[in-house]
Amino acid sequence: MKLRSALVGILSLLLACTALESPRDRARKAVERFAADGLSVELASGDRLVVPPGGVKVLAMDAYARDGGELEGFAQLSIEGRVGEVALSYLGNERLLFRCGARECSVRGPLAPRLEGVVEALVARRRALEAVDRDALGRLALEPVDLDEEEVRQAGSRAARGWFVRVETDSAIVGEADPEGRQRRLRLLRTDDGWRFETGLP
């Protein structure tokens, strides 16, 4: 009987400690559990963003309680992964939602929607370059642009081996590395219908 009482007391204490955790700590732990075994995210294009175990790091987190037992979080994430043959390194700010129970919270929805949107635009750009499709490429521009076919052809012949992505709210800077390690700088802005290139299309 004494042992049972002691176990009940310990369990109650643990539950109380969980309840006393700050929203920020609960959100951080939810992200760490979500990414602990790695991630494989299917993008709208059909490509996959693959992140190995340990590839997600929470650099900063703020979280606030919402109605219905949810949290809203704002995280700065570092993510290392791959999209096909292209290595990906990401640093960015993401808005997250969490569903919470008595014991713990879980991520509700995508972990890095801003990153996913930028990667979709980068994949679409690569496909249009390789196909020398000026019309498809032009639709990715922030403003109407007249692209030179030979310039597009030359850009498509340069393979991409790495994307170094930094996102802050509605803008993204990308360094695209070729097999020799040379980088091209791209800048994207988020619009109502996705991410569009301000510079760096061809």
Q: Is the pLDDT of residue 177 over 60?
A: yes
Round to whole Å and give the CA distance between 149 and 4: 78
| Residue type, position 94, single letter | E
Domain assignment present for 136: yes
- Residue 67's pLDDT is 87
Domain assignment present for 4: no
| Residue type, position 109, single letter | G
Q: Is the pLDDT of residue 2 over 90?
A: no
Domain assignment present for 78: yes
- pLDDT, tens digit, 9 for 90 and up, residues 17-73: 445 689 999 999 999 999 999 999 999 899 999 999 999 999 999 999 998 889 999
Range of the domain at 193: 22-202
Domain assignment present for 59: yes
Categorize the per-residue pLDDT at 1 as very low, low, confident or very high, splitting at 50, 70 and 90. Answer: low
By percentage, how much of the chain surpasses pLDDT 90? 83
Mean pLDDT taken over the chain: 91
Q: Is the pLDDT of residue 157 over 80?
A: yes
Domain assignment present for 2: no
Domain assignment present for 197: yes
- Residue 5's pLDDT is 53
**85 contacts 60 by C-beta, under 8 angstroms:** no
Q: How far apart are the first and last CA of the chain?
A: 75
Q: Is the pLDDT of residue 76 over 80?
A: yes
Domain assignment present for 122: yes
Q: Is the pLDDT of residue 196 over 90?
A: yes
Domain count, the chain: 1
Question: Do the strands 56-66 and 39-42 form a parallel or antiparallel pair, or are they unpaired?
Answer: unpaired
Round to whole Å and give the CA distance between 156 and 136: 13
Categorize the per-residue pLDDT at 169 as very low, low, confident or very high, splitting at 50, 70 and 90. Answer: confident
Question: What SS3 state is found at 80?
Answer: strand
- Residue 8's pLDDT is 44
Domain assignment present for 98: yes
Give the lowest-confidence range in 9-13, 67-71, 142-146: 9-13
Specify the higher pLDDT residue, 25 or 146: 25
- Residue 6's pLDDT is 47
Q: Is the pLDDT of residue 10 over 60?
A: no
Query: Quick one: average pLDDT of 159-178?
Result: 96
